[in-house]
Amino acid sequence: MPKYYKSLSPFAQRRHICSSYSSCPLTWLPTNDVKSLTFKLIGTDDMRDYEFQAHFCNRIYEARHRYCTMEEGEIAFELRQIGTWLMVDRINCRCLGIADVERYGYSKGVQFGDRVFRGNYIHMTCATKPQCKVDDFCYIETPSTDGYIYGGRVPCICPKQYHCPIYFIRDKRIPQINDDGRVISYGIKCKRRNY
């Protein structure tokens, strides 16, 4: 069984220095703090679904910002990934808990056989995601009319002993075919962890 580093505190990386009148703590804040966003991204075989907390120098919500309804499909906020950097693109509603991935968008279309996961637009939801059953798809992509795939959604979260292998997507897409023989979507199933 592999050994993994267990930290006594969260890994903190400063990306900006706040001006003297505001501070940016390097400690974990409550999930309802007005200067932070707390969210979970999909893990990998050797890393469980991991939580992030982004801190900001100023309030990220307006004084009367609406709260999320927690309804399925509602997008709380949107992130954009550039390399290892995550940028907040938009905040739609205030999430009081830990947000989960609702769907990924790709900056350009991909084909069925592409080996690399190109999800760099991340749409987050406050709605509670159900746990996947072993035979459920943990990620579903629907091809566009031009045959390319421009994103996918996360219908459920894999159980702890499993992970959703989206980052290593090669040969993982399972075509779903309608009665006419056309591919209507591609699904990826939870995969058992190696440890």
pLDDT tens readout for residues 34-66: 899 999 988 765 666 778 899 888 888 888 889
pLDDT per residue over 66-103, tens digit each?
999 999 999 999 999 888 788 999 999 999 899 999 99
Give dist(CA 147, CA 143) in Å, integer: 6
Of the ranges 80-89, 110-119, 171-180, which one carries the lowest mean pLDDT score? 110-119
Alpha-carbon span 12 to 26, nearest angstrom? 6
State which amino acid sits at residue 187.
Answer: G
Average confidence (pLDDT) over 146-154: 94
Mean of per-residue pLDDT scores for the chain: 86
Identify the pLDDT of residue 180. 93
Q: CA–CA separation, 26 vs 15, rounded Å?
A: 11
